[in-house]
Every structure is written in structure tokens, then in C-alpha cells.
Amino acid sequence: MAVTLREITRDNWRECVDIRVDASQTQFVASNMFSLAQSKYEPECIPLAIYDDEQMVGFVMYKSEDYGLAKTWFIERLLIGADHQKKGYGRAAMTALIERLRSQHGYNAILISFIPGNDIAQKLYSDLGFKDTGELEEGELVYRLALID
Ligand SMILES: CC(C)(COP(=O)(O)OP(=O)(O)OC[C@H]1O[C@@H](n2cnc3c(N)ncnc32)[C@H](O)[C@@H]1OP(=O)(O)O)[C@@H](O)C(=O)NCCC(=O)NCCS
């Protein structure tokens, strides 16, 4: 497996729109069509395609948030295409994104949120070191990975 995160461009955005989760999971995540539209009009949102070698398998989107002095990353979206799930891509993509965000200075944490009941996401984020903040934002549980001790 060779997982990389790549920019969405003129050449791959249509393929990105075609990456979809299973019908039973659409409650957990917005479609890539929605996310790409959001990233155009909310340009602080940075969308990336998840590739295994040359095959697009999923999508992530993140943004920088400024709380006064402290800057924080927020992972706005994560999904792996229905046909590509349970192969380790979600974990590998999150690991790659965390590494990318860690390499930029001046940020104290990465936040991520998910709908209560999304046990797979909850377990994945906990395994990666995210902790429950106890906060709910727009009905979603907010988890936090500290970047500075
Ligand atoms: C959450 C999601 C990104 C995980 O991606 P993935 O590539 O399937 O996950 P991985 O293969 O890396 O597996 C991560 C862990 O979750 C477990 N897992 C993944 N899918 C599972 C399933 N359907 N049932 C039970 N466990 C599952 C894996 O076994 C693995 O656990 P382990 O490391 O202890 O073995 C994917 O399920 C998804 O896109 N879901 C729909 C969208 C969503 O909920 N996004 C998150 C919104 S915040």
C-alpha cells in the first residue's frame, strides 16, 4: 500500500465526485460534490484526494482555525470510497494528514468531529491519539489531538 494525499485539480475533480460511501453511511459524511463546492466558496477549506498508488480511494478536507493566539487544525471531512473500505486506507490517510499538519509550526492541536454512533470513526480517532473534549459542535462529538505538550 502506498497512500498519498494529493491536490484536487482540473484533472481529478470529476473522479473525486464519483467517490462515494455506502448508502448506510451517508448520514455520517457530506458528499464529495458538496465538499468540493464548499471548498470553492470557503477557500480556507483544503480538499485532498487519498490515493493508493495511482488509484483514488478517498477524500479528506481540513482547515486552519484561529482562536485568538492559539491556532488549531480542524479536519472537516474524511471518507473512504465504499469499495475501498476496511483495507487500512482510513488509518493510513489520517496518519499521513497528521504528519503533514504536524510539520507546520504554530498549531497547538488537531480537532475532528463525528456524529455520535459513528463507532468506526470514534475507534479510529481514539487509536490515533485523539481525546474526547466533551464538547458537542452542531450535534457532533469533538475530539482533539494535542500537538504541543
Ligand atoms: C471511517 C472510515 C473513513 C474508515 O476508513 P477505512 O479505510 O474503512 O478504515 P481502515 O481500513 O483504516 O480501518 C480502521 C479501523 O476501523 C475498522 N473498521 C473499518 N470499517 C469497519 C466496519 N465496517 N466495521 C467494523 N470495523 C471497521 C477496521 O477494522 C480498523 O480497525 P483495526 O485497525 O482495529 O483493525 C470509513 O469507514 C468511512 O469512509 N466511513 C464513512 C464516512 C465516515 O464516517 N467518515 C468519518 C466522518 S467523521
- Per-residue pLDDT reduced to its tens digit, 101-142: 999 989 999 999 999 999 999 999 999 999 999 999 999 999
Beta bridge partners of 110: 73, 145
Q: In what order do the strands lie in the sheet with 55-67?
A: 3-7, 46-52, 55-67, 70-80, 107-114, 140-146, 131-137
d(CA 60, CA 84): 15
pLDDT at 149: 55
Cα(121) to centroid(ligand 1), Å: 6
Torsion (CA) 27, 30, 31, 35 in degrees, nearest 10:
180
Closest residue to atom 4 of ligand 1, CA basis = 90
Q: Give residue-wise pLDDT tens across range 24-57.
A: 999 999 999 999 999 999 999 999 999 999 999 9
Backbone torsions φ then ψ of 42, nearest 5 degrees:
-125, 75
Cα 25 to ligand 1 centre (Å): 11
Ligand 1 atom at shortest distance from the alpha carbon of 115: 48
Sort 148 into a burial class: Cβ within 10 Å, 0-12 / 13-18 / 19+. exposed
Looking at the chain, how many residues does it have? 149
pLDDT of 66 higher than 90: no
What is this structure's pTM? 0.96
Domains of the chain plus CATH, in order, are 3-146 (3.40.630.30)
- CA 64 / ligand 1 centre spacing (Å): 25
